[in-house]
Amino acid sequence: MSESFAVDVQNVSKSFGTVKALDGVTMRIRQGEIYGLLGPNGAGKTTLIRMIVGIVEAHAGTVTVLSQRMPNVAVLRHVGYMTQAAALYPGLSVEENVRFFAAINGAEKGVKEALELVELYERRGSVVSTLSGGMRQRCSLACALVHKPELLLLDEPTVGVDPQLRVQFWESFRRMAEAGTTIIVSSHVMDEAERCQRLGLIQYGRLLAEGSPNEIRAMAGTQNLEEAFLTLAGQKAS
């Protein structure tokens, strides 16, 4: 392997009972890349992300993150993970939540910056249980990036976030990627997919297609990504 990848997934498979969540997936994600995982609900996006952070172990295949074979606890210091549902402590304030995740990563200095990035600095004293869904999502994002990870995994980060803030989210993702952070983001919102440098289309636990948004459109011969996705998914299914 000449080039070093931030994430190197080789031929991984995982089943839950009789359900094949992932079936021989191989993907390599370069450092500083924004990689979009697209696919319908239940396609295996979350399982793949959980495998990359080492919470789920593959039945077959290997996952390498920042040159470390997963699961590996030490490498997680450089990984940020935002779960699908805003996983926060409802009884703590915004700042207390962010401070906690900063502390377990040894990065207390980043709290203010993270709060400002998600525009919750003014609301830092609010208890999470009193916040709206969108604000919780923002707080959750702050918790995931407070330690300035080299690899940021975002599982549907913009669910419940209003359009203006979504634009700001993506602007910060872009800036972070330019600074060298690798970002893997799952989504089924197609206008978000446009903002990714590369996309992986996942269905039934398989990687159907991979490439830049333009390449994906060209592959399917369609004008927009949504149609491209439906076309590609339909071809494989039949």
Q: Which of 5, 35, 81, 173 binds other proteins (CB under 8 A)?
A: 81
Q: Which two tokens stand for residue 126?
A: 């609010």
Task: Give me the 94-113 binding string for other proteins, x by CB under 8 A, dash otherwise.
Answer: -------x--xxx-------
What's the rounded Cα separation, in Å, for the pair 202 and 39?
A: 5
Q: State the alpha helices, DSSP H only, in the chain.
A: 45-52, 94-104, 111-117, 133-145, 163-178, 190-193, 213-220, 225-237
Q: Give yes or no for residue 50 binding other proteins (CB under 8 A).
A: yes
Q: Give yes or no for residue 174 binding other proteins (CB under 8 A).
A: no
Q: Give yes or no for residue 12 binding other proteins (CB under 8 A).
A: no
Q: Give yes or no for residue 54 binding other proteins (CB under 8 A).
A: yes
Q: Give yes or no for residue 1 binding other proteins (CB under 8 A).
A: no
CA distances from 204 to 19, 23, 57, 233, 237 (A): 10, 8, 18, 10, 9
Query: Within 178-217, which residues bind other proteins (CB under 8 A)?
Result: none
What's the rounded Cα separation, in Å, for the pair 62 and 44?
A: 16
Compute how many residues bind other proteins; rule: CB under 8 A.
25
Phi, psi of 27 (to 5 degrees): -155, 145
Q: Give yes or no for residue 42 binding other proteins (CB under 8 A).
A: no
* Residues of the shown chain interacting with other proteins in the complex, contacts defined by CB under 8 A: 50, 53-57, 73-74, 76-77, 79, 81, 83-90, 101, 104-106, 143
